[in-house]
Amino acid sequence: MTSKTKILFVDDEESIRRLFCKAMMNEALLIETASDGKKALEKLKTFPAEIVITDVKMPKMDGLALLEEVRIRYPDIFVVIVTGYGTIEDAVNAMKAGAYDYILKPFDFDAIRMVLEKIIGHKGILRENYFFGRNRRKTHRFENIIGQDPEMFEIFRKIMDIANTSATVLITGETGTGKELVAEAIHFKSPRKDGPLVRVNCAALTATLINSELFGHEKGAFTGALAQKKGHFELADGGTIFLDEIGDIPIPTQISLLRVLELGTFQRVGGTNTLKVDTRVVCATNQDLSGAVKEKLFREDLFYRIDVVSLHIPPLRDRRSDIPLLANHFLKRCCTKTRKNIHRISRAAMNILIRYDWPGNVRELSNVIERTVIFCKGKEIVPANLPEILWETFQEKTFALTLSSSSLPNAEATLIREVLAETDWNLKQASEMLDVARGTLW
């Protein structure tokens, strides 16, 4: 029997809550409601919702504040924002803040059903790929890729579509986005999964040795060639070869690579026999290869030959809703490795992680969490534990304060409370953010 999808619907108008339940209730959905963000958070303590659908304009805690809290406390929950036609800016801000999607008022229930079907379909993709042993499930993982951002789901879907083919794949994206993990997923979802997966970092190979590394060499082919050696393509026969940083391959080697892609044949360096291999090629680059083609740094015919199927991996700053998932994953992994007992990342510290732009992407986040775990002395990670560059950037944020009066002491007190809440009452960090001495803050 298929379990019901649990939905929490949040709106301050009782009539709208009743209308939603009446229109959407069916055998496949289990719906609970709440009248504002604070009550929704209380409800989530006992109701394990998979999807939260929330209005933006609500008293006590609005939808955007609820989105932020859910993203930090329950990063595996999908959040859909409801907004009116006149407040599209709220929808844009919600998507930037990590909402999965948005719905416009007045309700079009067919549109709501389409959004729910898309989420349920994405959860189905993950469910099929979570299992890594008996009774073990990762609720946000596809192979070894962690994420639930809509862009990542499209990548997961494309991986499933292309895995069963032998098409050459070009993976693009900034350094540290996880291109190698995508290549691994393509291989291990394919019929070649029992064959070898040979990884080659083309940028690490010198121009004089790259042909020998890729295609092998015969004994005596050059000084130091004391024995016959198989190249990476030969070793990958029946499996997949992953050519990382393919844009760094020199032009002469590109000619040989083109022949392998077109005919599946090559010759070892110093050899005369033509060898044939059945190897799938997956390439990756952080360069603009089309620009390199225009500058005559990369062969045009090779570019079109490797760009049969292309996958672009978004930078981490464009999938901020995945940062809590990744940060908590790295925290658990690093605690296991270092045998430390750090329970969690504080709300203030997580906010800093979410707002940082991560030029080094997922790899940088992993390194930051590992370094933080090593030096953290407490049971949770707070802003002061993070590298200075992260919370210095966070200090520059602005606060939107709601004041009950125009008095200066009231404004000062409100700002202090806001900063203390942001830093989890870390007085050192709060005094630095307020640019006052710690004694003055007291």
CA distance 71 to 154: 20
CA distances from 96 to 57, 67, 99, 214, 294 (A): 18, 11, 7, 43, 34
State the average pLDDT over residues 364-387.
Answer: 93
Q: What pLDDT digit, counting tens, does each position of 254-281 carry?
A: 999 999 999 999 999 998 899 999 999 9
Q: Which ranges of 62-139 does DSSP label H, i.e. alpha helix?
A: 63-73, 88-96, 109-128
Gyration radius (Cα) of the chain, Å: 26
pLDDT of residue 298: 94
Task: Scan for tokens 């069916």, then name that residue.
Answer: 26
Query: What's the pLDDT score for residue 334?
Result: 94
Query: For residue 135, what pLDDT band results from cuts at 50, 70 and 90?
Result: very low
The structure tokens listed for 366 are 């992993």
CATH number for domain 146-312, candidates 3.40.50.300, 3.40.50.2300, 3.40.640.10, 3.40.190.10: 3.40.50.300
More confident residue, 209 or 411: 209
Topology of the domain comprising 5-128: Rossmann fold (3.40.50)
Cα–Cα dist 43/32, whole Å = 8
Provide the residue ranges of all domains of the chain, joining segments of one domain with +. Answer: 5-128, 146-312, 328-391, 398-442
pLDDT in tens, 36-82: 999 999 999 999 999 999 998 888 888 888 998 898 888 889 999 98
Please count the other Cβ atoms lying within 10 Å of the Cβ belonging to residue 33.
19
Q: Which two tokens stand for residue 144?
A: 């070894």
Mean pLDDT for all residues in the chain: 86
Helix or strand run (H / E) with residue 304: helix 300-306
Which pLDDT score, from 0 to 100, does residue 289 have?
Answer: 94
DSSP one-letter code for 313: P
Confidence of residue 86 (pLDDT cuts 50, 70, 90): low
| From the candidate CATH numbers 1.10.8.60, 1.10.3720.10, 3.30.420.40, 3.30.420.10, the one assigned to the domain spanning 328-391 | 1.10.8.60
Compute the average pLDDT of residues 341-345: 90
Does pLDDT of 240 surpass 80?
yes
Predicted pLDDT of residue 137: 39
- Does residue 97 carry a pLDDT above 50? yes
Question: What value does the mean pLDDT take over residues 326-338?
Answer: 92
Residue 324, φ and ψ in degrees, nearest 5: -60, -40
| Pairing relationship of beta strands 51-55 and 101-105 according to DSSP bridges | unpaired
Domains 5-128 and 146-312 equal at CATH topology level: yes
Cα gap 10→252, rounded to integer Å? 62
Indicate the burial class of 26 (C-beta count within 10 angstroms; 0-12, 13-18, 19 or more).
Answer: exposed
Phi-psi region of 190 (alpha: psi -120 to 50; beta: other; left: phi over 0): beta
Encoded tokens for 57: 């304009």
- On the question of pLDDT at 2 being above 90, the answer is no
Q: What percent of the chain has pLDDT over 70?
A: 88
Which percentage of the chain shows pLDDT scores above 90?
52
Which CATH number applies to 398-442? 1.10.10
pLDDT of residue 393: 63
Question: CB burial class (10 A; 0-12, 13-18, 19+) of residue 121?
Answer: exposed
Average pLDDT over residues 409-434: 73
285: closest CA among 174, 143, 151, 439? 174
Question: Per-residue pLDDT averaged across 184-194, rounded?
Answer: 93
- Residues 58 and 17: their CA atoms lie apart, in Å, by 13
SS3 of 365, please? helix
